Each structure stands twice: as C-alpha cells, then as structure tokens.
Amino acid sequence: MLVGLALASPVVRAEDDLRSREILWLDCASEIGSRDVTLFSNGTLRVRSRGPEEEVEMWLGELTPDETQAYVNRLAEIDLREAESARSGVVGEWLEQCEVRLARPGEAERRFRFGRYDSLGLALSRVVRIAEELEREAMARDARHGLPVRYQPRPGDVLIDAEGMRFEVLRFTADGGGVELAATDWPLILYLGVEQLRERFVALERGDGRELPR
C-alpha cells in the first residue's frame, strides 16, 4: 500500500515522510486482543490496544528531537548480528505472540518473532525493553489524558479544563514565572504559574510553535 501511494503521489514532503517512517514497532497479540507501540522518525509515539470485540483505544505522544535522537542512539548501540527470533516456547491461544520491527538509520529493516514468555537473547531483550519504555512515554504524554509531562506553554496553545472551558495562552507574566491566558468564549483572563497548568487543565491543542513573548 505504501508503494502504491508513493507512485500515485511522487512529491512527498519530508515532514510527511518522517510521520510515516517507523523506527521501532512492537506488536503483541492473542485471541483476546492485541497491543502495539510505534516510534516514528519525527518523534511521534503511538500505542494502540484492541480488545476482543475489536474496539480500539489509542494513545499519542511526542518526543523532542533530542529525545528522539537519544532513543535512536540507544537502539544503534545494540549489537543485533547474532540476534534471532525466539524458538517455540510456551504456546496457547490465550498467550501473546509478539513481533518486533526495527529500522535503524542506514540499515535494512530487521524483524523478530517471539512468545511473551519466551527466553530472549540479550540484544533482543534490550530492544523490547526500549519499546516498553516508549509505550509508557506515549501513555504519559497523551494530551487527552492530561497535559504532556514536559509541557512548556507557547502562544496560541489552547488549554481545556475539566469543565470543557478553553483558554488560549497569551504571554508570560512580567516575572517570567506565570502565564496569561484568555478564555476563548468568555471575557475572562487567568494568570497561573507554569507549574499550576497541569493542575487546572486536562487537554492541549498546540499553537503555532512561536516562543512566548516575555
């Protein structure tokens, strides 16, 4: 499918390419459901969970460029020359079977398969641990489940509180320790400390990326 899209649309922006290029993907599935985590080249983290009725829940998080590169470096340090898929171990329709895809920069994609309770080699174990770490990061940073862990306010950001009220970030306060926000639907101005934003607001819509005026 990806090849077909490339042929139909030969001009692809670099940003779009990074959004679709997977660095690491881990999927574990059984008869009762599945769960997968993906790290994309642009730093996007995605976790999807499917239940027995095919209902899907998804979490999305964003790494900074430095954080993304740090994960790429950790994956690059793992010596996979002797790594191989685990041999058949404990099996059963209720037991998860997993697959890892790893596409390190400059290398062909590698794939490994194993059961959840199989004994893995050191190299493959390190890859799986990193994938599980990324899963926790995605769930912690998903804006629908609160503000991102390392959220820093920017002008144009719209923050949503528990009652559904929306406030746009305007600027820092004079002392630099707080932020001025304006309600989008009411004539209301708030002044909150940066550390208080996570206590007041439960969701984020990103703005245009400019730095806040001080």
Predicted local confidence at residue 1, as pLDDT: 30
Predicted local confidence at residue 189, as pLDDT: 94
In order along its 214 residues, the chain shows pLDDT tens digits of 323 322 233 333 444 455 568 999 999 998 888 999 999 999 989 999 888 776 778 888 888 899 999 999 999 999 988 877 666 555 556 688 999 999 998 899 999 999 888 888 899 999 999 999 999 888 877 755 667 666 788 889 999 886 778 899 999 998 888 999 999 988 999 999 988 898 788 788 765 444 444 3
Predicted local confidence at residue 213, as pLDDT: 40
Cα–Cα dist 176/32, whole Å: 51
Query: Residue holding tokens 């932020």?
Result: 179
Q: Which three-class secondary structure state does DSSP give residue 111?
A: strand
The whole-angstrom distance between residue 130's C-alpha and the CA centroid of its chain comes to 13
Predicted local confidence at residue 89, as pLDDT: 54
Predicted local confidence at residue 16, as pLDDT: 44
Report whether 124 contacts 101 (CB < 8 A): no
Domains and CATH numbers, the chain: 2-144 (3.30.1560), 146-214 (2.30.30)
